[in-house]
Amino acid sequence: MNIVLWVLFGLLVGVVANAIDPAPARGGLLGAIILGIVGALIGGFLSNLIFGVGVTGFDFTSFAIAVLGALLLLLIGRSFKGAP
């Protein structure tokens, strides 16, 4: 994927992950993009390690993996922050 698609994919993933997460999100549009891209990297790495399937493009499987990675990132961030 080129950089424009990564940014668009990251935005979509970040917005969905923030909508699923019950805690209020901060960071705005840029925070959602960063959350989505880093979540895709984390989710893709872990799913490739465990299942042999990673984030390969703009498809449903990659989207689901990226959202799960973003939710995991939010959970880890909240545990370090000490927020409920």
Collect all residues with Cβ–Cβ distance below 8 Å to 64 and sequence separation of at least 6.
Answer: none
pLDDT digits (tens, 9 = 90+) for 23-78: 877 788 999 999 999 999 999 999 999 998 888 888 899 999 999 999 999 999 88
Give the sign of the dihedral formed by CA 30, CA 31, CA 35, CA 36.
negative
Q: Is residue 83 part of a domain?
A: no
Could you tell me the pTM of the whole model?
A: 0.88
Please give the Cα distance from 76 to 84 (Å, whole number). 12
* Residue 12 domain boundaries: 3-78
Number of structural domains found in the chain: 1
